[in-house]
Amino acid sequence: MDEMTALREAFGPDPEPGPRVRERALAVLHERMRSAPMAAVAVPAVRQRRWPMRVALTAAAASLAVVGAVAVENIGTVSDSGKGYSTVGLPFPRPASAAEVLTNAAWAASRKPWTDPRPDQVMYNESRQLRNEKAYENEHPNDPIVPGHTRTALVQEWKRVDGKQMGLVQDGRLVVYDQGNGRMHWMQLDYDLLKGLDTPAKVLDFDKNPPRTGSIRLDALLGQYVLPPKVEAAVYGALAQGEGVRLNPDAINVDGRPAIGLGWVEEGYLAKEFLFDPSTYSLIGERSVAIADHHNTDEHGDDDFTPKGALFRQVIYTKAIIVEKVGDTA
């Protein structure tokens, strides 16, 4: 069974609108930032709730699982910069738990080649997001993905290491923003602070005691920044020590590739997963899916129903590299 068929069966006929989910709202904000005139756009400081460490993923999250994954013991790969590195000697050639997968991910991440960037260099993050058709998304920005009426959106974002500049693509054109110029402000963690998060203990303390400049979830930290290998490895190590992260009993297929899912549950019904490559143990994406029917009250006091199986977010990370200037992609 392919993933779209699985989604259709999970949704059933004529799915009702879902709740206001933070990830969908943020995705629509980015979409509108790319399509609006530059002078009319003000980028808010988006503060996301810190990642809950003590939550559990139920087996129902496997409802969208369609493809099995096989771990490879002796492998090599290349980093996003194109430099080769080896993953021969994985701590767990055939991991059987979330902690073992995360230990492999930390081990592999720590072996990536790396040179600390200059303050004037730029973090480039690129992803492909499964989204509803644009017209429907504009009318229903927080609804789940509607099978058969989707598009794949290429999301590109540039942030200078020193936080002074950001770039986005709007209507196919690169637009560059300067921090503090007019109404333009965005929250960005100091890179020296990030570089210092080089042990699991430091990451756990960061998650528990975020800086005054604003908190950020650990999953957002992995997806929105270009982290030094030691820091990325430390994040995985911290997650491996926490309670509640569970290995999806079945792998899933995204973007034509098998993936290992590690997940947790938020608000009692929304399962979120990191997606790892089963050969290299690199982080390749994330997704959010309802694992139970859920009733909520919207801003008008009306019932807002989410059916089990509703997919709210599916993102594939395609690049996370340091480049020389805003607009560079390699």
Half-sphere exposure of 31 (CA within 13 A, CB side): 22
pLDDT recorded at residue 86 = 56
Vertex 197: Cα angle to 265 and 214 (nearest 5): 65
Which pLDDT score is estimated for 167?
Answer: 97
Mean pLDDT, range 65-85, rounded to an integer: 39
Look at residue 301 in the predicted model and tell me its pLDDT.
78
According to DSSP, the residues that pair with 247 across neighbouring strands are 262
pLDDT digits (tens, 9 = 90+) for 281-305: 999 999 999 999 999 887 777 888 9
Instruction: Determine the length of the chain.
Output: 330
pLDDT in the model for residue 124: 98
Residue 78's pLDDT is 52
Using DSSP, state whether 293 is helix, strand or coil: coil
- What average pLDDT does the chain have? 77
Q: Which is more confident, 87 or 19?
A: 87
Q: Give the separation between CA 101 and CA 91, rounded to whole angstroms.
A: 9
257 beta partners: 254
Residue-wise over 183-209: b if at least 16 C-beta within 10 A, else e?
Answer: eeeeebbebeebeebbebeebbebbee
* Cβ contact 200:193 at 8 Å: no
* pLDDT in the model for residue 182: 74
Q: Cβ of 116: how many Cβ atoms within 10 Å?
A: 10
Is the pLDDT at 171 greater than 50? The verdict is yes
Whole-number percent of the chain with pLDDT over 90: 51
CA 299 to chain centre: 27
Domain residue limits, the chain: 3-323
Q: Are 226 and 123 in contact (CB under 8 A)?
A: yes
Least confident of 169-173, 256-260, 284-288: 256-260
- What is the C-alpha separation between 88 and 85, in angstroms, rounded? 9
Which whole number is the average pLDDT over 115-135? 96
If you average pLDDT over residues 81-109, what whole number do you get? 82
Higher pLDDT, 141 or 321: 321
What is the model's pLDDT at position 185?
Answer: 86
- Reply yes or no on whether the pLDDT at 213 is more than 60: yes
* Integer angstrom CA distances of residue 90 from 84, 85, 93, 274, 278: 16, 13, 6, 20, 12
Backbone angles phi, psi at 321, to 5 degrees: -135, 165
Give the pLDDT mean for 197-203: 96
As given in the structure block, the two tokens for residue 172 are 């196919």
Q: What percent of the chain has pLDDT over 70?
A: 72
Using CA atoms in the order 192, 196, 198, 200, what is the torsion angle rounded to 10 degrees? Answer: -130
Phi and psi at residue 69, in whole multiples of 5°? Answer: -125, 145
Q: Is residue 131 scored above 80 in pLDDT?
A: yes
CA-nearest of 21, 11, 32, 47 to 142 is: 21
pTM of the predicted model as reported, rounded to 2 decimal places: 0.74
Task: Give the closest residue to 189 by CA, choosing from 156, 227, 155, 157.
Answer: 227
Which amino acid type is present at position 55?
A: V
pLDDT attached to residue 249: 64
Residue 257 host element (H or E): strand 257-266
Separation between Cα atoms, residue 29 and residue 35, nearest integer Å: 10
CA 141 to each of CA 4, 134, 145, 211, 278: distance values in angstroms, whole numbers, following the listed order? 21, 9, 10, 31, 33
pLDDT for the residue numbered 153:
94
Q: CA quadruple 21, 224, 280, 91: dihedral positive or negative?
A: negative
Per-residue pLDDT, averaged over 125-141, amounts to 94
Answer for the pair 278, 253: CB distance below 8 angstroms, yes or no: no
Does residue 162 carry a pLDDT above 90? yes
Residue 32 tokens, joined: 């509108």
Identify the pLDDT of residue 229: 97
Task: Name which residue leads in pLDDT, 296 or 130.
Answer: 130
As a three-state string, the secondary structure of 177-191 is EECCCCCCCCCCCCH
